[in-house]
Structure 1
Amino acid sequence: MTVSYTLQRRRYPEPAAALRLLKPITWFPPMWAYLCGVVSVGVSPLENLWLVGLGILLAGPIVCGMSQAANDWCDRHVDAINQPERPIPSGRVPGQWGLYIALGMSALSLLVGLALGPWGFAATCAAVAAAWAYSAEPVRLKKSGWWGPGLVGLCYEGLPWFTGAAVLSAGLPDWRIITIAMLYAIGAHGIMTLNDFKALKGDRQTGVNSLPVTLGPARAALVACAVMTLSQIGVIFLLLGWDRPYFALAITALLGLQIWAMTILIRDPRAKAPWYNGTGVALYVTGMMVAAFALRGLV
């Protein structure tokens, strides 16, 4: 019996393929951002371990996993061109199962969000709505190289940070926390733009106007680097203004290393984007935690 014939007859998802559909590698950024929110608010996490743990679980495996499943379902025609080995186009997640998984996890997200109180539930509702607005027609903000990455950056970095701070403080976080979270969310627009390089061929054929498609790889890489750099410069100047010079210096050093990595990235953006995601992005998120500790002492 051939592999293709086996896939055609499959009625239920292959377990490993279903897990891959949720893309565990993508869970880290929102989990990390939620933890940054917890740290920044100044409340001891040890006194609220279940809120910290549940929030991290919600931000990563549940909400982020749901968004990945929704995106893969809505992108199945694009993935058939770019990455036919993915779970849905390969047939390892057959029929409508990709949709069922995404809808089921959307419901699970809202249910778990209820346990985090009104602020946590409101943020979860926003995250679920954003995930579907990004991927699904007729909205499908993914078609825009500006709105799509902006929305994902907000949901990957800004919204989880805000949620962690709001849940632990049981209220609206301090304006300085919101400001820093938003700056890092804006900077994440550049990270999301770099992720679009891998889908360049399929995006062109299916009308997804990512920045690599509309601007070309070279200019898109420059825009991504500029957005990431300027957002962190904003963080540095704010921390200096708030009398946190050592934290500002640490983020400056991290940004300097990122700029070095950017010089390598822009030489060949299509080939070096995955490399930068493993180096420059790690430095970026390290700076987020440095800023969170700076806010902890300030707030």
Structure 2
Amino acid sequence: MSVSPSLPQSRLPQPRAMLELIKPVTWFPPMWAYLCGVVSAGVPLSGHYFVVALGVVLAGPIVCGMSQAANDWCDRHVDAINEPYRPIPSGRIPGRWGLYIALVMSALALLVGWQLGPWGFGATVIGVLAAWAYSAEPVRLKKSGWWGPGLVGLSYEGLPWFTGAAVLSAGAPRIEITMVAVLYALGAHGIMTLNDFKALEGDRQTGVRSLPVVLGPEVAAKLACIVMSLPQALVITLLVIWGKPIHAGIITVSLLAQFWAMSVLLTDPKGRAPWYNGTGVTLYVLGMMVAAHALRSLGTF
């Protein structure tokens, strides 16, 4: 028996599609960065378990999930070209439900961020504004291959790291913590450039000037490798200066392994970008935690 094509579509989003919209697979980087900030602060965790757990949930499922929903709503026309099976272009999240979900999660983020004190709330406000500035017109920094990945790198790596350290310290983090957090955030620009490879055709057709579109896949991949490598080299140098040669050595080994992965990536940048995200990027984020442990025992300048 065939199903009549005239049956009306559901006016409510499918629960599974709502989970898909906020992309749990993307939550790890900001959650990990927040934990790096917690570790780097050097404050005993006893008595702080609630704010640590709340911060992890805020950084990942709430703020990152909200940013994914906002991005998918603002990118629904691009996704109709690149990935028509996604929740919004496929109709599994109908009408304006994608926008409503993003707005409700923005409000939820601010409410939860308020529970983390002035530093946590201030960082949450910046994170929410950055998410909308990245995706929504008229700002839509995503259209720039320079500003877009830079904003995401700061939001996914630098801001959560800074926030985790600030919340645990109940004040501004030490200058060393801020320096390392910023360096890893800058390096994440390269990671986000590689992430843009998957939307190459849709970006080209809709006027999004990602670096793979503007420079071509080969040049963009080489630039991404340089951008990922230089901040790590600076972190290694700083750790040696600060008297942490063992931690610096571990990150050096990680960087050398990334060089091998980069050589593989450059043989086929567009085809190998997903593979690199599972290898080189993993080594990158492991180095972040090594650096956090080194910072944990450092004093102020």
1:107 to 1:191, Cα distance in 2 relative to 1, 3 A: same
Where 2:203 maps in the other structure, the secondary structure is helix
Aligned mates of 2:276, 2:231 — CA distance in 1:
18
TM-score normalised over the length of structure 1: 0.98
Aligned to 1:78: 78
What is aligned with 1:140? Answer: 140
Name 2:115's counterpart in structure 1. 115
Q: What SS does structure 2 have at the residue aligned with 1:124?
A: helix
> How far apart are 1:238 and its partner, in Å?
0.4
Matches of 2:47 and 2:284 in 1, distance apart?
A: 29
Deviation of the 1:297 alpha carbon: 1.0
Q: Deviations over 1:63-104 (max 9, x none)?
A: 000000000000000000000000000000000000000000
Q: What is the percent sequence identity of the aligned residues?
A: 70
Mapped partners of 1:109, 1:4: distance in 2:
40
What whole-Å deviation, never above 9, does each CA across 1:199-232 have from its counterpart, x for those lacking one? Answer: 0000000000000000000000000000000010
For 1:47, what is the secondary structure of its paired residue?
Answer: coil
Secondary structure of 1:95's aligned partner: coil
Counterpart residue identity of residue 265, structure 2: L
Q: 1:267 to 1:19 in 2, by over 3 A?
A: same
Q: Which amino acid aligns with 1:43?
A: V
Q: Which residue of 1 aligns with 2:65?
A: 65
Cα distance, 1:47 vs. partner?
2.5
Per the alignment, in what secondary structure is the counterpart of residue 298 of structure 1?
Answer: coil
Aligned to 1:292: 292
Which has the larger share of helix? 1
1:29-40 → structure 2 map (5 Å cutoff): 29-40=29-40
Structure 2 match to 1:223: 223
Distance change in 2, residues 1:5/1:110 (3 Å): farther
Q: TM-score, normalised by structure 2?
A: 0.97
Aligned match of 2:12: 12
**What SS class does the counterpart of residue 88 from structure 2 fall into?**
helix
Q: Deviations 1:3-29 (Å, cap 9, x if unpaired)?
A: 9766x5110000000000000000000
- Counterpart Cα distance in 2 of 1:50 and 1:70: 28
Match of 2:239 in 1: 239
Distance 1:4 1:168, change over 3 A: farther
The amino acid that maps onto 2:175 is W
Distance change >3 Å, CA 218–CA 3, structure 1 → 2: farther
1:164 aligns with 2:164: yes
Deviations 1:32-51 (A, max 9, x none): 00000000000012320000
Aligned to 1:203: 203
Residues 2 and 89 from structure 1, CA distance in 2 versus in 1: closer, same or farther, beyond 3 angstroms?
A: farther
CA gap of 1:41–1:208, structure 2 versus 1, over 3 A, is: same
1:236-273: CA deviations, max 9, x gaps?
Answer: 00001101000000000000001100000011010000
Could you tell me which amino acid in structure 2 is paired with residue 242 of structure 1?
A: W
The reply to whether residue 150 of structure 1 matches residue 162 of structure 2 is no
- How well do the aligned residues superpose, as a CA RMSD in angstroms? 1.1
Separation in 2 of the partners of 1:186 and 1:97? 34
Over 3 Å counting, the alpha-carbon distance change for 1:230 and 1:5 in structure 2 is: farther
Q: Does 1:100 align with 2:83?
A: no
Specify the SS of the correspondent of 1:263.
helix
Gaps of 5+ in 1: none
Counterpart Cα distance in 2 of 1:95 and 1:273: 33
